[in-house]
Each structure stands twice: as C-alpha cells, then as structure tokens.
A and B are shown apart, each in its own frame.
Chain A
Amino acid sequence: MAETHIPHPILPPPSNSVGVLGWLRRNLFSSPLNIALTLLALYLLYTLIPPLLRWALLDATWTGDNREACSAHSGACWVFIRVHFEQFLYGFYPDDQRWRVNLAAILLVLGAAPLFIRAVPDRTKIRLGLSLLIGYPIIAFVLFKGGRLGLSAVDTSSWGGLLLTLVIAGVGMIAALPLGILLALGRRSQMPAIQTLCVTFIEFWRGVPLITVLFMSSVMLPLFLPAGMNFDKLLRALIGVTLFQAAYMAEVVRGGLQAIPKGQFEAAAALGLGYWKTMALIVLPQALKLVIPGIVNTFIALFKDTSLVLIIGLFDLMNIVHNATTNPEWLGFSTEGYVFTATVYWLFCFGMSRYSQNLEKRLHTGHKR
C-alpha cells in the first residue's frame, strides 16, 4: 500500500514571541531580575531626562549678544557659544582671511564627496582617495599658511579652535598610517638591522606618554638645535603626535599582518610577485581590512588626544573654549562651554565610527578563513 506524505501545514509563530510584545518580553521582561533592572532604568531616565531637557532646551537662552540676556532664564546660556562661535572655529585666525579656511573646508567636502557615493566605481574611488591624501594637505597648507600666490602670510600661532584640532588630527592620521604600515612591515622583516630599528622605534614611542612627547618637542628640542635655528611650534607638535601615533598604528597593522595565512604569501611568490607587490596587492589590502576597527580606534583616540596640545600653549578647540570660560566678561558659563566641546568631539568620533562600520560591511567579500 502506498502512503502519500501530506506536508505539515506551515503555522504562524506564537503571538507572544513576535512583534512589539515579543520583543518587550524577550529583551526587557524575561526574568524577575530583568524586570527589576528595566523598572530601575525607567526611573533613572524619568529623574534625569526632564531636568536635562529643561536646562539644555526649554529654559535655555538662545538669543542676545551679552551675558545679561541670559539672566532672565534659569537654563543654559547658549549665547556664550554664539558669541564665541567664530573664535571656537578659527581661533585667532584673522577675520578677513577666514574665507581661506572656509574654502579649504568646501574643497575637502567637494573632493571627498564621491568617496561616499555608492555608484562611483571602486577604482575611481581609490585613485581619488590617494590623490586627495597626497594633494589636499598641500593645498590646505598653502591656503592656511599663505605667504605665496598673493595670499598674506598667517602665522601658525594664530591658528586655533576646531581648525587647529582638525589640522593636528588630520596630519596625525594621514602621516601616521603609512608610517605605521612601514614600521609594521619592518618589524616583521627578515633583515635584522631593519627589524631592530623598527622594534626600538615602536617600543620607545609606545613607552612614553604623549604629554611627555609634546613637552620634549616644545621645551627640550630647541635646546639641542643650533642657536638661531627655530622651528615652528605647531610643526614640532605635529611631528611628535605623528611619530607617537605611528608606533601605535604599527602594532595595530602588525596584528592584521599576522592574521594573513602563509598560503597567501606562497601563492603570491609562486606567481613571481616580489616583496613590495606582494605586500601592496595581496597582503596589505587583506590585513588593513581586518584591522579597520583597530585603526579607527587609534584615530578616535588621536582625535581626542589632540586636546593635550594645550599644555604647550596651542589653542585647539578644547583650549580655546576653556580660555573663553575664563574671560572675566563671561565667567560662570564653563558648563555650556564643555558641553559644547564634548558634543563637537562626539560628533566627529561617532562619525568616524559609523563610517568604519559601513566600510567594513562594504569590503566584506564573503570569504571564509
């Protein structure tokens, strides 16, 4: 007798395991402890959010141009930020020359925009990215510093605010990554001289705090230089930050290099590729992709560490806000100042973090290891 198999009907899942209710049950009310923690969290939010909103938005002062405007309200005095906003952005950069900074910013946005558009082919993106990496710093430097092409010279000591923060972070990132890659390759080199050199360099710079590096560059370095020779304080800080960051970057990249299977090197060698081509075409693209989270982590740390330059008297965003809060005319508004500073830092760091996640997803080629 032939039995026909009747397929079991497809049933919907139990209603309490899907939808909003299912989600709530699974994530917030799955056990007595979870219920207690959920209620506690709700209570904390209830006590914290309303006063915060009242201070930052509802009772805050948004208009006016002096501190008296703020006395009518009990909340935050955003007038303080408004009045100093240009200063926070440009530092002491001369008013009539600020268009140069704006122009550089617009050029960067226009130049980099195609990198974020999905439809642009990858090959074009790589070419554009590389030419930006090399070309843009030169353009930006000429625009900021001036002294040629009919632009009046602006001394680096008057650069400040967000501009200075971005200059230090940008130079640190752009210069530290290639240097770090070279150091990582050197540390794995078969040649003992190169290996020793790289290990010594990395271990030295990783072993000292950034503050010490900055102090040394601004206080001690001039002692060793011949009398009369003077190099720019900002340049010295940039070199210090770059070398310091390169050592960290080298170790991040080395982690990626170690994850590349030996077979990749062998396959490249068997095809007749030399050392540099193997590294550039086969090993580094894979290794760097693996360590994107580590690289971005280092970048974010660097971005925030730029605030340390205040100890050598550079007025980056952090320092210039701090400076404004000590202005006798505007005493008592340091909370607003630091909340503003924190928000700006957070926006940049969060942006980097999101971009890196996006990049990781896009570069995933479904390969298994």
Chain B
Amino acid sequence: MPELPPASAHAPLSDQVMIEMQGVHKWYGAFHVLKEINLTVRKGERIVVCGPSGSGKSTTIRCINRLEEYQRGRIVVDGQELSNDVRQIERIRREVGMVFQHFNLFPHLTVLENCVLAPIWVRKLPRKQAEDIAMRYLERVKIPEQAGKYPGQLSGGQQQRVAIARSLCMNPKIMLFDEPTSALDPEMIKEVLDTMVTLAEDGMTMICVTHEMGFAKTVAHRVIFMDGGEIIEQNSPAEFFTHPQSDRTKLFLSQILHH
C-alpha cells in the first residue's frame, strides 16, 4: 500500500469533535456487552479498533449510527445527539457511511443503481447528477467499467470497493468500517486497504474495526484495544505496538503478530 508519513507527523487535528460517546452501556438481555464506553473522535481523525472476537468492537461502532440500541449513556454525532426519534436517527445516518464485513450490496440492483439509490431517494438528487457522482466514486475505487454489472458478477474485493463507493456517494462526514477485509481472500485484501488509504489521505474521519495491523500502523492516529466490552487501552500506533501497557493488550498483540 502507498506509504503515508507516520500519522503523528500530520498536520495537527482540528479541535472540532465529530463523535462523542459518553458512558455508553449496552446489554443483550442480561448480558452486559458494552461497559462505560467513552470515546471522542475529532474531525479528520482515523481510529483503528482492535481486540479479540466478542469484545464489543463492532457493537461499539454500530451504536454510532444506531444499528444497535444502547441502554445508558449518550452519543453525539456531528453536534446531533442520538435519540429514539426516527427522523433524528435517519438524519445522522445520512452523514455516517458504513462498510460491512459481508459488503451487503443490493443484489437485485446493478453497481451503479446501488450507488445512486440513496442519493436519489434520501438526498433527493436528480438521477443525472447522482449518476455523475456515482461514476466519479466508482472511478476512485477503480471499477468504473463494472457500473452496469450486478454485485453477484463481481469478486469479493470488487464488491467491497463498490460498497465503499456506495457509502461515499452520500458524501458522509464520517466513515465506519466493520471488519471490511475479514471476508476477503488474501489477494483481495490489498485492493480494499488501498482504497481505504486514499480515503484517509483525503482527510476523512474514519473508525475502522480491523485486524490489519499494517493498516493501523500506517494510517491510524490512534489505536483502541477492546476486551470484554471495555476499552482497555488507547494510544498512538507507535506507542501501542511498541509499548503496550496492559497484560491483555500484550497477550493479544503476541497472538496476532506471531502466527
């Protein structure tokens, strides 16, 4: 992947807060999945969330666009607080793009139709304009020639790049990535990571749940380690990988880096 200068050398981040999670708790029935999550994400900040499976990483980012409910605490996204008001939730979702592990493209629509659907029906853009925007983003993820195909005719890596383009067509202020490369064959991981890196170069605010530690090292401003529904440790990638503080972090890193 193209080398970025280490994140710490970037221009200082703006002080504008994009996401604020305060004391968020979530239970599935009696099971306490998220415990006292506090997280502040500033504009343009890139965060990688890692941790063992079942640690609550995905659940945490799915709370930010309210795909998951939470029972305690508050979340403010781009100055708007999440509530039970459906309209408010939909307003926030428009500004927050999400990329899923299993792509979740709409199989009955072509690649182009996948990309223009939300701009037309949610943003109310004219079809022509929405298609122009979609083609621009499909070019950016390097698959404009696939615009007329159906998702079922594409490889996994191509599908995930379409999914990224589909999210970008809504011109979101924040992008959430939920293990975007976990369902891909090894040779396709790179093309998706490259796409995410170009996104990072443009200053997109990103939260990415991933086990791609190379990506974390080069792209992230901050790495967050979660276990058992708690944020155990957060630090700059340089510090995180070289001087992990807690024993659980050390154990996790030794397991994923030495296999």
A residues adjacent to B (C-beta < 8 A): 261, 263-264, 266-274, 277, 281-282, 285-286, 289, 363, 365-369
Contact = CB atoms under 8 A, between A and B. Distances in A.
Contact of B93 (A261, A270, A363, A367): A270
B121 A270 contact: no
B170 A271 contact: yes
Contacts of A263: 100, 102, 104
Contacts of B82: none
28 contacts: A261-B104, A263-B100, A263-B104, A264-B104, A266-B67, A266-B100, A266-B104, A267-B98, A267-B100, A267-B104, A267-B105, A269-B65, A270-B98, A270-B167, A271-B117, A271-B118, A272-B93, A272-B94, A273-B118, A277-B122, A281-B121, A285-B108, A286-B108, A289-B108, A365-B108, A366-B152, A367-B107, A369-B107
B121 A277 contact: yes
A367 B151 contact: yes
Contacts of A363: 108
B208 interface: no
B106 A272 contact: no
Query: Which 7 residue pairs spanning A and B have beta carbons closest together?
Result: A367-B152, A367-B107, A267-B104, A271-B118, A263-B104, A272-B94, A270-B98
A269 B67 contact: yes
Given A266-B100, A267-B100, A270-B65, A368 B121 contact: no
> Interface size bucket, B side?
20 to 34
Contacts of B166: 271
A289 B170 CA distance: 28
B86 interface: yes
Interface in B144-170: 150-153, 163, 166-167, 170
B145 to A, nearest CB: 17
A368 B151 CA distance: 9
A22 B163 CA distance: 49
Nearest to B92: A272
A273 B121 contact: yes
Contact of A273 (B104, B122, B151): B122
B154 to A, nearest CB: 10
Contact of B150 (A266, A281, A366): A366
B96 interface: yes
B100 A282 contact: no
Nearest to B90: A272
Nearest to A274: B90
A269 B93 contact: yes
A266 B107 CA distance: 14
Contacts of A266: 67, 100, 104
Interface of B: 65, 67, 86, 90-91, 93-94, 96-98, 100, 102, 104-108, 117-118, 121-122, 150-153, 163, 166-167, 170
A126 to B, nearest CB: 13
Nearest to A282: B106
Nearest to B176: A270
Given A270-B67, A272-B122, A272-B170, A281 B100 contact: no
B115 to A, nearest CB: 10
Contacts of A268: 106
Contacts of B106: 264, 267-268, 282, 286
* Among A267, A271, A281, residue most surrounded by chain B Cβ atoms (within 10 Å): A271
A367 B151 CA distance: 7
Nearest to B86: A274
Contacts of A274: 86, 90
B107 A365 contact: yes
A207 B67 CA distance: 38
A263 B152 CA distance: 15
B102 to A, nearest CB: 6
Contacts of B118: 271-273
A366 B150 CA distance: 7
A271 B152 contact: no
A273 B109 CA distance: 16
Given A270-B96, A270-B98, 12 more contacts: A264-B104, A269-B65, A271-B94, A272-B90, A272-B122, A273-B121, A273-B122, A285-B108, A286-B106, A286-B107, A286-B108, A367-B151
Contacts of B102: 263
Contacts of B121: 273, 277, 281
Contacts of B122: 271-273, 277
A177 to B, nearest CB: 18
Nearest to A368: B152
A267 B170 CA distance: 13
A367 B94 contact: no
A268 B65 CA distance: 12
A348 B65 CA distance: 50
A325 B118 CA distance: 61
A365 B67 contact: no
B217 to A, nearest CB: 28
A363 B96 CA distance: 32
A263 B98 CA distance: 12
Contacts of A368: 152
Contacts of B104: 261, 263-264, 266-267
